[in-house]
Structure 1
Amino acid sequence: MTLAALRKAITRRQHDLYFVAFDLLHLNGHDLRDMALEDRREILAGSDSRIRFSETMPGEANAIYHLIDAAGLEGMVSKPRDSKYRSGPTTNWLKTKFFTESEFELLGVECERGKPAFALMAEPGTRKYVGSAFVSVNREMRERLWKRVQEHAGPPPKDMPKRPATQWVKPGIKARVKHLRGEEELRHASLQDFREEN
């Protein structure tokens, strides 16, 4: 569900919404963090009917990873069944993110001295900004990209805020971007390749 669809559902269809939880830390004034995860989840399973708990998928991590990836989901959270909850960084809680690759239109490249370069992206054919991607390509491709950007220099898209360190380009350069799956805007994105549109 997109953020826009979620907002619409919250205002118009509250009766269709459920809160999905995967852990329970406190209940009715009781601290449950020293209990094992499977015991905390057991309590969660018997709570309010508007609260649902995420299904566990016990098994070998690689097999589960491939199932979730094939289903097109955003990621998974893994915890040992007997783990107690501890705040802060821990090896007991592992969040695995799933990435995908998509094609976008290049709007420009932002490059400040001493900082990594970022490619600014738009949905193809719209010039609507959707986020930036870290320019992680090799040196040869980076130089080729910068040459194309200078050759195709153009004005910024309409309504785009000023970005002094950005070299804007005319429409016509497509880019393949690796990014976090399931987000409306680019997150954890990196430029993989680019081409000129014929």
Structure 2
Amino acid sequence: MARAFEFAIPVPAKAVPDGPDWIHEIKFDGFRLRVERAGEAVRLFSRNGADWTGRYPRIVETARKLKASQFILDGEAVVLDLRGYSDFDALLSRRYDADVQLYAFDLLALGGDDLSRLPLSMRKTNLQRLVGRRLEDIQLAPFEVGEIGPDLYRQTCKHGLEGIVSKQLDRAYKMGRCAHWQKSKNPNHPAYRRVRDQF
């Protein structure tokens, strides 16, 4: 049964933000995933609220290894190719479900506390404490701060990646379309064509 909640969804950027109050994350080509832990119970939910707990067992197992007994993570489930790039076709095929890992980029709850109202800077600090030790199947999504945004976007395009997501550090988590999360997509990446072909 689908769960009633919404993810924060970035809007298309008119230009890559470059102010000091922004961070920039590489956009992975995967499935958005919410990871919820309450004691030993771990559940995974897709963007449309479907329960995917049984689909990605390694993420579930790794979530149980984290020190906190209660948390909610927001991230991207991916399959990595030999270059370390996310491979959407491999993910979509379902042949590699046992190898899917999570890049976590937000922390919405921890130890019974709702963190969603805190600024992103504080959520990132708490996320780093929780996931900072590099685990094989749940990793902290890397990010860069401030003026590097336009250069980072150019480099992601040069290397054939999907693009970047820029986020304002002082803002709370906002469900649904979120103007302080902005995506700059590589127009030559297959993900750009997938979205375009839907219209």
Q: TM-score range by the shorter chain?
A: 0.3 to 0.5
Q: What TM-score, normalized to structure 1?
A: 0.46
Larger radius of gyration: 1
User: Comparing both chains, which one has the higher relative contact order based on Cα–Cα distances under 8 Å and sequence gaps of 6 or more?
Assistant: 2
Q: What TM-score, normalized to structure 2?
A: 0.45
